[in-house]
Structure 1
Amino acid sequence: MLVQLITSYVASAAFGILFNVPPKTLVQCGFIGMLGWALYISLSDVGAVLVVSTLAASFFIALLSQVFARLFKTPIIVFSVSGIIPLVPGGLAYDAMRLFVEGNYSLAMQSAARAFLISGAIAIGLIFSEVTNVFFKGPKLKRVSAERAE
């Protein structure tokens, strides 16, 4: 598992370089990707369905991204995009396309459906995190606005 953690750290930080994130945040981008991958692997090892593991890991990555964005006064997207990279099912999507080209349509459809479900779980995890953030911050913002109006 240590090799996977190191690899996910390097992948997230390297994507941060490609994504042109501020150099001071590269370490944090790698750290977020590594922690998200650790959660994903841990849940998968205890028998959770891959889609559920991906959903939980992407939610966790997005929450961490919000915390790090506040700490380092950087946009959330800097951390969330780099941190999500280890979860993206690129290999699975490639296999689905390869199976289509080879004419093995039933396996191709299964692989494509899995890739689609995992991608959807990533998107839903990111959205749930933002909804959670708004839910907990919403009343405070409204209260401050109402106090200023008085």
Structure 2
Amino acid sequence: MNFETFYTSFFATMAFGIIFNVPKRSMISGGIIGMLGWALYIWLTGQYHFDMVFATLIAAFFVATVSQLLARYHKMPVTVFSVSGIIPLVPGGLAYDTMRHFVENDYSIAIKYATKTLLISGAIAFGLIFSGVISQILRRNDNANVKED
């Protein structure tokens, strides 16, 4: 594995944290979340040859779940961690290639890239939503158990 990509994802996540005005005390945690999400994605696609979309779904779910745990620990909103932590997974390069091929009138490749970009974006959204839904279900079950006691 190339550790330079992990450092880059850490600093990119922190840079987006600065852009989004996250509190200073959450910057390192946010950077680590982004780096670990990217490391998981690289590990799944490189080591186990997972499809990019499925690996993105798993990594986004991981980022969202860890973001929720850290949000409770730091007593901050989940979005402080999840928005900047998800940045390394965003398919910006694919979106650029999509537009470049459309401009060059190479529509068959452009459609291929556009489809992959949309699927990866959907996987990110689904991973974030799925983690949130599971968290709410677990919270409701905890509240129900507390009321019964």
The two structures share one fold, judged by TM-score above 0.5: yes
1:78 to 74, 77, 80: 80
Q: Secondary structure at the match of 1:74?
A: coil
Give the secondary structure class of the aligned counterpart of 1:57.
Answer: helix
Q: Distance in 2 between matches of 1:93 and 1:38?
A: 21
2:109 counterpart (78, 100, 107) = 107
Q: What residue in structure 1 maps to residue 52 of structure 2?
A: 50
Given the alignment of the two structures, is residue 66 of structure 1 paired with residue 75 of structure 2, yes or no? no
Partner residue in 2 for 1:18: 19
Which blocks of at least 5 consecutive residues in structure 2 are unaligned? none
Which residue number corresponds to residue 119 of structure 1? 121
Bigger drift between 127-136 and 36-45 goes to: 127-136
For the residues of structure 1 that align with 2:78 and 2:41, how far apart are their CA atoms? 21
> Which residues of structure 1 form unaligned runs of 5+?
none
Letter in 1 for 2:84: S
TM-score, length of structure 2 as denominator length: 0.95
Deviations 1:76-124 (A, max 9, x none): 0000001000000011011101100110000000000000000000000
Alignment TM-score, normalising by the size of structure 1: 0.94
Identity of aligned residues (%): 52
CA distance in 1, matches of 2:96, 2:147: 50
Q: In structure 1, give the amino acid aligned to 2:102.
A: F
Give the number of aligned pairs.
147
Residue matched to 1:37: 38
Q: Distance in 2 between matches of 1:146 and 1:22?
A: 38
Question: Any runs of at least 4 consecutive aligned residues in structure 1 with deviations exceeding 6 A, and if so which?
Answer: none
